[in-house]
Structure 1
Amino acid sequence: MNSFRMRLTLILIGMIGLAVLAAGLFMGKTYRDNHLEALQDNMVREMNIILDQMQWRTGEPADLYAYYTGKAKRLKDITDTRLTFIRGDGVVLGDSDHDPQTMDNHSKRQEVVEAKKDGIGRTTRYSDTLKQNLLYVAMAVDPAHPESSDIIRMALSLEKVDESVKRIWLALIVGLLILFIAAALISYRIAFGLTQPLEQITRVAKRIKSLDYRARVQVKRTDEIGELGLAINAMADSLHVQMTRIHQNERQLASVLDNMISGVVMINAEGNIVLLNRRAEEVLGFSAHELVGHRYTVAKQQSELAHIIQEAFERKEHLREEMTFYYPEERLLDLNLVPIFEDDNSFGGVLLILEDVTAIRRLERMRSEFVANVSHELKTPITAVKGFAETLLGGAVDDPELSRSFLQIIFDESDRLNRLIGDILELSKIESRRVPLQFSPVELSSFVQKTVELMRAEALQKQIRLSAKVEPDIYVEADEDRLRQIVMNLLSNGINYTPEGGSVSIVVEPVGGENYESVRIHITDTGIGIPKKDLPRIFERFYRVDKARSRSSGGTGLGLSIVKHLVELHKGTITVDSLVGSGSTFTIELPVLQ
């Protein structure tokens, strides 16, 4: 901007200098012309005075030469000009500076010609006689008849005129120089006044270009530059609002993309990946840094994916496919490839949506298995009831002992069927979270003692020792009925799978000392134990380790699944440790406050 200021200053100085120079030349020429005109007018007046005071003679040339030459010399001393007397035919009768007899005929001289025509003639030319530039003014002696009149002529050396003009020029140059300096200072001031706000506007524009939308012009003027500053500020305000909105939209879009449960990959028309969200990184096993800007074939581990993307590019239509990925882990993915078309209907690439359906398919499989298991579990007692009822109807009812035995079996199977249906309905309500829990403080010492007493009769039937160890004044916030259902289910399992003479114990302890935040409940039995391979699945519905024994004990296969769901509704966890032949320990950890 400083260079612009200098250029503007120089332009202004140049323009002013040219204007001043032109004015000076015009003034100099005008002064010289006016000065010459004034001299000519003065010479005319002097010649009129001379003619008025002088007697014009005629006669012999010899006498006339002496007379007029003497007059011319005397008049020169008075007027300080060269005088010449010319006869009507152009013969020079007398001259103040030269011998008239040696001078040429002057009838053709311009000033003489003009004087014979108009009465007065004027000209400026070089004098061959005096060898210098002279100003000539000629006047007819008889103005009434100038064409035949004698002529009186005055000549003034231009050296005096030039000296006077030089003095004027010197004064004019000094004045013009002073004016030029003043103009230069004024020009710089004007340029500075123009460029300083422009410099500020330029700095603000550069800051806006560098994405600093808070930059503003300090407007102190009301002219066009002030209006420009206001326009820049208004533009910056608008840009700031627009960019804030754009950044907000970008953040929202990035947040949406990063938190989507589906992977999103955008591929442009050239086959380069331009967008990859966090879920897509997890599914594909590559970071966005590794893939964005590269062709989709970079993910070489997913060759099948590359083939289907290629197919989408070729067909340019929506494709859907399920595909199993084995890297970075085994997943079943639902792929949706949607072609992208620009506003001008040109092909812009492909949008790939990756959805992990492994859990969905597993749930579908579990649902199918659940339906099959329920059908099987329901079919067994129904078949038994139907078979024994048909036997009774076939005549076995006449045998009192046999009919009593069959009716007992029918009763047991009906009871089992009732428990099974009840457990299925209970599990369904718990899984759908349609079981409202009524939380209240529960004192665990009395709670455990009461629960153990409820299970003691069942334990005594198998001569199993049932013991409890609970520190006093341990409280937990829970639904007391559901918590009792959890403990009784685990105690019942322990009793059922522990041989006669064994033991089942329950131990409750706080976690974290006096200011405990959770409690831990251990239920341990000395039963047959659970094989290691079955431990991950024991909380599944209808999963039984020993199917024959489970059925003989009247179990439905849903107890542990109900327990797990109820513990999770209490925001707790349940784990199991077991060794075949040595027993099992179920550990429940519940938070003190819900």
Structure 2
Amino acid sequence: MLFLLLIGCSVLAAGIFTAKILENAHLKELRQNMEREIAIIQSLADWQTELHKPDPRRYFSDLAEYLERTAQARVTFVATDGRVLGDSEYDAQQMDNHLNREEIVMARERGSGYSIRFSETVNTKMLYVAQPLKREGSNEIEGYVRLSMSLAHVDETVRELWLGLIGGLVLLFAAAALVSYRVSLGLTRPLEKITDVANQIKQMNYKSRVHIGNKDEIGQLGHAINTMAESLQAQMQRIQEEESRLKSLLENMISGLLMIDREGKVELMNRSAEEMLGVSAKELLGKPFREYGQHRELVEMSDRGWDLGEPVREELHLFYPQERIVEAHIVPIPGNDGTGAGAGLLIVLHDITAIRKLEKMRSEFVANVSHELKTPLAAVKGFAETLLAGAMDDRETARSFLQIIYDESERLNRLIGDILDLSKIESKRVQMRFSPVHLDSFVEKMLDMMRSAAEEKKIALVSNTGHDLYVEADEDRLQQILLNLISNGINYTQEGGRVTVSVEPAGEAEADGEYERIRITVEDTGIGIPKKDLPRIFERFYRVDKARSRSSGGTGLGLSIVKHLVDLHHGTIRVESELGVGSKFIIELPVVHA
């Protein structure tokens, strides 16, 4: 294409040069002819006589008109003062003074003058040629003869030359384009394809291929490019798969991970680290880790890792964004020479809050179990020793002591039973047997079982059912849930109070009129639960009023067992309470289990 452009420019320049030379030659020849015609006119005119007459304009005007027909050019006679004496086409009296016209000035100074300009008189571009009329035997100028001719013919000739030149250029370009096209088919186009594919590979588009059927050197080059692209594509696919697996692994790791480069800037941070430290990766990536001020202990620990150049392990207590215990491992990343922490640091964070909490709960559980077992055992042992010491002789006292021993042993038996039940439930060793349960009749049955205990305290048991609802549940475990809640309501309600059990649909009905979940509510008018105790009400051995719990014979495990059994039914339980007004335990269960 560049070669074609150079050819076109060369031909165009040659054409312009040729056209200019032809135009100048034509004008020169035309000027010379006009000068010869002026010389003939000077020899024909009676200048000496006519110039000195009072009104020479008539003579010179008639002569100009006559000469125009012969010379086929406009003829003008000009006096030495610039007055037009005669003109072959216009009235001489109405014409301007010609003393300062270019051709007249040049004729006066050089003996012959010419100019090319646009004539407003005839409204076309004209060639003017003038020569002075001199007195015989002297160089005194008596007037000027001027011929003018339209250059329309010259312009037409040049225009024809340009048309020929342009036509030739068009033909040349067409021929050159055809030749270039033929060349590109055989050489340029395959190279362009190869170049395009190479650029595509450079831009990481490894699927691009060269499609060339030639078996010459260009074809072999295209085949080599394709082989290279296939190899790169396979390697990049493996790299992307490894990167995807690594990214998925990092993002789904439970442990937090931070990588710090050799300049101390955060280079990598996974989602778990964001959650543990309460900061997004966008805020830390590319910034110095030493400037991170929310957890100074971790920053100081990383500084020790830099200084020591060896792994550092420490247990940290973090308080933001929430309180948690973290086990931090600082591991130096060796440099290329295999020594020191030249490449950076790797910080691994393990959230051990649940482990420490579990250890604390286990410790508290052992302490609570020991305490709960020790209390009835101490009572049994104390009263047994009293009986052995002689209280057996007093029949009434002995009976009273034996009753206490019996009650404490029953309490001990219930405690051991609840501990075993809770252990089975927490270890997922409870086998759930789901079957349809008609809730209206089931609730009435539960209230009947607790009615005698309620009547002793003059507490009314109220059933608020009537929706004819069924639920898929383990009937024995559901019975254990309701009995625990109703028993709690009776124990913590004063005489004359009320415990109400309600059953209703939860949420809106489906298109077929069925419900996805049901709600069971156990409400009492008892002493209520303080707000500060509500979050811990389902913990093992947690009691709001320890004295009242022991006097009621509670083990402190009932609500914990209820919470675990509701979870096994894939349900939820929550509590609402107000001191002095009462408590409300709300259970929501799915109607059908998958």
| Smaller-chain TM-score bracket | 0.5 to 0.7
Range with bigger deviation, 416-425 or 507-516 = 507-516
User: Any conservation in 2 of the 1:537–1:543 contact (CA below 8 Å)?
Assistant: yes
Please give the per-residue CA displacement for 1:476-506, whole angstroms capped at 9, x wherever unaligned. 1111111111011100101111112211110
Amino acid at match of 1:583: G
Matches for 1:577-588 after TM superposition, within 5 Å: 577-588=576-587
Give structure 1 stretches of 5+ with no counterpart.
7-181
1:367 aligns with 2:362: yes
1:437 aligns with 2:432: yes
For 1:241 and 1:441, locate their aligned partners in 2 and report how far apart those are by CA, in whole Å.
58
Amino acid at match of 1:409: I
User: Any conservation in 2 of the 1:467–1:505 contact (CA below 8 Å)?
Assistant: yes
User: Any conservation in 1 of the 2:312–2:330 contact (CA below 8 Å)?
Assistant: yes
User: Cα offset for 1:228?
Assistant: 2.1
- For residue 247 of structure 1, give the secondary structure of its aligned residue in structure 2: helix
User: Any conservation in 1 of the 2:467–2:504 contact (CA below 8 Å)?
Assistant: no
1:486 aligns with 2:484: no
Change (3 A) 1:373 1:193: same
Amino acid at match of 2:286: G
For 1:482 and 1:234, locate their aligned partners in 2 and report how far apart those are by CA, in whole Å.
69
Please give the per-residue CA displacement for 1:271-319, whole angstroms capped at 9, x wherever unaligned. 1111011111222222212211121113122222211111101111111
| Residue 522 (structure 1) aligns with | 521
User: Cα offset for 1:255?
Assistant: 1.5
Structure with larger Rg: 1
- For residue 343 of structure 2, give the secondary structure of its aligned residue in structure 1: strand
Say which of 455, 460, 464 aligns to 1:465: 460
Matches for 1:503-518 after TM superposition, within 5 Å: 503-511=498-506, 512-513=508-509, 514-518=513-517
Say which of 394, 397, 417 aligns to 1:399: 394
Q: Percent identity at matched positions?
A: 61
For 1:463 and 1:484, locate their aligned partners in 2 and report how far apart those are by CA, in whole Å.
23
For 2:520 and 2:320, locate their aligned partners in 1 and report how far apart those are by CA, in whole Å.
40
| Residue 571 (structure 2) aligns with | 572
User: Cα offset for 1:190?
Assistant: 6.1
Matches for 1:24-423 after TM superposition, within 5 Å: 193-342=186-335, 344-346=337-339, 347-423=342-418
Change (3 A) 1:220 1:408: same
Counting matched residue pairs gives: 419
User: Cα offset for 1:442?
Assistant: 1.3
- For residue 301 of structure 2, give the secondary structure of its aligned residue in structure 1: helix
For 1:550 and 1:326, locate their aligned partners in 2 and report how far apart those are by CA, in whole Å.
35
User: Cα offset for 1:345?
Assistant: 0.4
- For residue 373 of structure 1, give the secondary structure of its aligned residue in structure 2: helix
- For residue 423 of structure 1, give the secondary structure of its aligned residue in structure 2: helix
Range with bigger deviation, 250-259 or 551-560 = 250-259
User: Cα offset for 1:234?
Assistant: 2.1
For 1:337 and 1:293, locate their aligned partners in 2 and report how far apart those are by CA, in whole Å.
19
For 2:496 and 2:429, locate their aligned partners in 1 and report how far apart those are by CA, in whole Å.
41
Change (3 A) 1:185 1:502: closer
User: Cα offset for 1:241?
Assistant: 2.2
| Residue 547 (structure 2) aligns with | 548
User: Cα offset for 1:208?
Assistant: 1.0
| Residue 146 (structure 1) aligns with | none
Please give the per-residue CA displacement for 1:399-455, whole angstroms capped at 9, x wherever unaligned. 322222221111111111110011011111111111111111211111111111111
For 1:215 and 1:185, locate their aligned partners in 2 and report how far apart those are by CA, in whole Å.
30
> Taking structure 1 as the reference length, what is the TM-score of the superposition?
0.67
For 2:355 and 2:489, locate their aligned partners in 1 and report how far apart those are by CA, in whole Å.
34
For 2:575 and 2:185, locate their aligned partners in 1 and report how far apart those are by CA, in whole Å.
87
For 2:481 and 2:460, locate their aligned partners in 1 and report how far apart those are by CA, in whole Å.
20
| Residue 455 (structure 1) aligns with | 450
User: Cα offset for 1:358?
Assistant: 2.3
For 2:223 and 2:514, locate their aligned partners in 1 and report how far apart those are by CA, in whole Å.
66
Amino acid at match of 2:414: R
| Residue 102 (structure 1) aligns with | none
- For residue 323 of structure 1, give the secondary structure of its aligned residue in structure 2: strand
Amino acid at match of 2:583: S
Please give the per-residue CA displacement for 1:343-386, whole angstroms capped at 9, x wherever unaligned. 53043211101122223222221211111111100111111111
User: Any conservation in 2 of the 1:464–1:495 contact (CA below 8 Å)?
Assistant: yes
User: Any conservation in 1 of the 2:209–2:229 contact (CA below 8 Å)?
Assistant: yes
For 2:487 and 2:309, locate their aligned partners in 1 and report how far apart those are by CA, in whole Å.
62
- For residue 390 of structure 1, give the secondary structure of its aligned residue in structure 2: helix
Amino acid at match of 2:203: S
1:560 aligns with 2:559: yes
For 2:523 and 2:444, locate their aligned partners in 1 and report how far apart those are by CA, in whole Å.
16
User: Any conservation in 2 of the 1:268–1:349 contact (CA below 8 Å)?
Assistant: yes
Amino acid at match of 1:544: R
For 1:257 and 1:220, locate their aligned partners in 2 and report how far apart those are by CA, in whole Å.
47
Say which of 487, 494, 503 aligns to 1:499: 494
For 1:188 and 1:579, locate their aligned partners in 2 and report how far apart those are by CA, in whole Å.
94
User: Any conservation in 1 of the 2:251–2:271 contact (CA below 8 Å)?
Assistant: yes
Change (3 A) 1:560 1:188: closer
For 2:280 and 2:530, locate their aligned partners in 1 and report how far apart those are by CA, in whole Å.
41
User: Any conservation in 2 of the 1:266–1:276 contact (CA below 8 Å)?
Assistant: yes
For 2:359 and 2:314, locate their aligned partners in 1 and report how far apart those are by CA, in whole Å.
18
Please give the per-residue CA displacement for 1:87-117, whole angstroms capped at 9, x wherever unaligned. xxxxxxxxxxxxxxxxxxxxxxxxxxxxxxx
User: Cα offset for 1:244?
Assistant: 2.0
For 1:545 and 1:185, locate their aligned partners in 2 and report how far apart those are by CA, in whole Å.
100
For 1:218 and 1:563, locate their aligned partners in 2 and report how far apart those are by CA, in whole Å.
73
Range with bigger deviation, 230-239 or 407-416 = 230-239
| Residue 107 (structure 1) aligns with | none
- For residue 336 of structure 1, give the secondary structure of its aligned residue in structure 2: strand
Please give the per-residue CA displacement for 1:487-528, whole angstroms capped at 9, x wherever unaligned. 111001011111122111101001224332111111111111
- For residue 214 of structure 2, give the secondary structure of its aligned residue in structure 1: coil
- For residue 436 of structure 1, give the secondary structure of its aligned residue in structure 2: coil
RMSD, matched Cα: 2.4
User: Any conservation in 1 of the 2:467–2:503 contact (CA below 8 Å)?
Assistant: no
For 1:458 and 1:185, locate their aligned partners in 2 and report how far apart those are by CA, in whole Å.
111
Please give the per-residue CA displacement for 1:535-590, whole angstroms capped at 9, x wherever unaligned. 11111100111111111111000000000111111111111111111111111111
User: Any conservation in 2 of the 1:291–1:298 contact (CA below 8 Å)?
Assistant: no
User: Any conservation in 1 of the 2:465–2:504 contact (CA below 8 Å)?
Assistant: yes
For 2:505 and 2:180, locate their aligned partners in 1 and report how far apart those are by CA, in whole Å.
91
